[in-house]
């Protein structure tokens, strides 16, 4: 994200390699997962098990505007690379620390990845509860992605603050707090007082219809069929005014009591509609949005995706390309599209040490010989 917004991002990678390099699909010694997450970043690989490696990392930190690290809170302190080391000597430094549960409190030492944070923060339970108690991990790493977005937002705010004050600062971001913060239904789950019977709590989007049309197309309708006003939209789209006089559906409370029957009426009607285009037209005329059930590959082939350049080709470091999502911003005066390539481990060691740290070729060669700087670049 920060790379796409114009930052010169340097990824510091351990000699063993980022774990995301080793998943599949793979092409030219890189996983497509790694490519999507690291396009445009420069790469230096440092062995920080060696004291010289730690000091090399410290020099990089001292040269930076922003540092982002995602170790457990005690790791950077043990390495002697925590914010306290640089706060006085680098007063403009913005130092962002990402962890599962934050840099303070009783859970600082817990290991954390997206699935366990989703479980701890109510996401997995809520998803299972609305599906009748069938609990499963979400296939998407929301905790990782949302925390990255919130971290980028915090960094941009800290940079703006620095422009006003001249001072950097430490930013502590936890995945767990992020998942609470982005959960738009948290207020409902925190509400402990009685709720008026026959009401729809916090929109209940899990109840929104998923419909199959006559040609087998599957569409999602954004709206709760039992809700006052929305029910009438559904009736209008279906051209079924008799439902307005059906006592089972006379009030919100009655519609919730007979919700399965109401959904059966809607689903049965949908099978008589020719296709997704026709059902969208009908719902659109009555103020309801629909979306066709698609895969990422399917939406990438739509005229919308092509017009917006929502998917772009980046180099696979051979003769082909890897298709990845483009950035979502369209600035009138700046190009913020995804560009560049994903670098191999340590591919920019020499360039970074020479240009940013002002090191001589002899110094760099010594670090390579001592195993402080490590690289793994395929032979051409």
pLDDT digits (tens, 9 = 90+) for 249-302: 999 999 999 999 999 999 999 999 999 999 999 999 999 999 999 999 999 999
- Asked which of 229, 261, 292 is the last residue of a domain, the reply is 292
CA dist 350 and 370 (Å) reads 15
Other CB atoms closer than 10 Å to residue 181's CB: what's the count? 14
Is residue 304 within 8 Å of residue 1, measured between CB atoms? no
Same domain, 267 and 356: no
Q: What does residue 20 show for φ and ψ, rounded to 5 degrees?
A: -75, -10
Number of alpha carbons in the 13 Å side-chain half-sphere of residue 3: 19
Cis before 335? omega within 30? no
In a domain, 314, yes or no: yes
Residue 272 belongs to domain spanning? 218-292
193 part of a folded domain? no
Tell me the average pLDDT across 79-91: 96
State which of 276, 292, 308 marks the end of a domain: 292
Say whether both 287 and 303 belong to one domain.
no
Give the pLDDT confidence score for residue 198 in this predicted structure. Answer: 85
Q: Residue 1 — very low, low, confident or very high, per pLDDT cuts 50/70/90? A: confident
Q: Model confidence at 243, in pLDDT bands (50, 70, 90)? A: very high
| pLDDT at residue 197 is higher than 90 | no
Single pTM value for the model: 0.92
> Are residues 39 and 147 both part of a single domain?
yes
Q: For residues 127 and 228, state if they share a domain.
A: no
- Indicate whether 380 pLDDT > 80: no
In the chain, the number of structural domains is: 2
- CB 116: neighbour CB atoms within 10 A? 17
Q: Are residues 158 and 20 in the same domain?
A: yes
Phi, psi of 314, rounded to the nearest 5 degrees? -120, 155
Q: What is the pLDDT of residue 379?
A: 82
Rg of the Cα atoms in the chain: 26
Convert the pLDDT of each residue in 122-144 to its tens digit. Answer: 999 999 999 999 999 999 999 99
Asked whether residue 244 is assigned to any structural domain, the reply reads yes
Does one domain contain both 87 and 58?
yes
Task: Indicate the residue among 292, 325, 352 that finishes a domain.
Answer: 292
């Amino acid at each position: 994200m920060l790379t796409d917004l114009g930052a010169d991002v340097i990824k510091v990678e351990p000699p063993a390699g980022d774990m995301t390099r080793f998943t599949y699909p793979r092409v030219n010694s890189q996983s497509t997962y790694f490519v999507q997450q690291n396009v445009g970043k420069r790469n230096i690989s440092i062995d920080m098990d060696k004291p010289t490696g730690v000091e090399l990392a410290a020099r990089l930190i001292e040269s930076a505007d922003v540092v982002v690290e995602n170790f457990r809170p005690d790791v950077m302190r043990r390495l002697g690379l925590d914010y306290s080391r640089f706060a006085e000597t680098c007063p403009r430094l913005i130092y962002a620390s990402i962890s599962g549960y934050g840099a303070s409190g009783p859970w600082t030492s817990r290991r954390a990845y997206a699935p366990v944070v989703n479980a701890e923060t109510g996401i997995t339970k809520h998803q299972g509860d609305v599906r009748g108690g069938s609990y499963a991990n979400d296939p998407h790493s929301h905790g990782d992605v949302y925390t990255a977005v919130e971290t980028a937002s915090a960094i941009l705010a800290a940079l703006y603050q620095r422009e006003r004050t001249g001072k950097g600062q430490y930013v502590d971001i936890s995945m767990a707090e992020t998942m609470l913060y982005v959960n738009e239904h948290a207020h409902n789950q925190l509400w402990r007082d009685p709720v008026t019977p026959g009401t729809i709590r916090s929109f209940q989007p899990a109840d929104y219809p998923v419909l199959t049309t006559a040609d087998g197309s599957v569409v999602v309708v954004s709206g709760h069929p039992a809700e006052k006003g929305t029910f009438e939209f559904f009736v209008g789209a279906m051209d079924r005014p008799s439902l307005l006089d059906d006592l089972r559906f006379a009030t919100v409370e009655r519609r919730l009591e007979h919700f399965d029957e109401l959904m059966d009426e809607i689903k049965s009607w949908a099978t008589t509609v020719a296709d997704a285009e026709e059902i969208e037209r009908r719902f659109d005329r009555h103020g309801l949005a629909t979306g066709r059930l698609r895969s990422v590959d399917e939406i990438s082939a739509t005229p919308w995706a092509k017009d917006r350049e929502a998917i772009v080709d980046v180099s696979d470091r051979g003769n082909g390309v890897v298709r990845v999502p483009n950035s979502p911003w369209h600035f009138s005066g700046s190009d913020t599209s995804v560009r560049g390539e994903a670098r191999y481990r340590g591919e920019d060691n020499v360039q970074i040490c020479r240009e940013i740290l002002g090191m001589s070729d002899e110094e760099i060669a010594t670090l390579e010989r001592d195993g402080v700087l490590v690289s793994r670049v395929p032979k051409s």
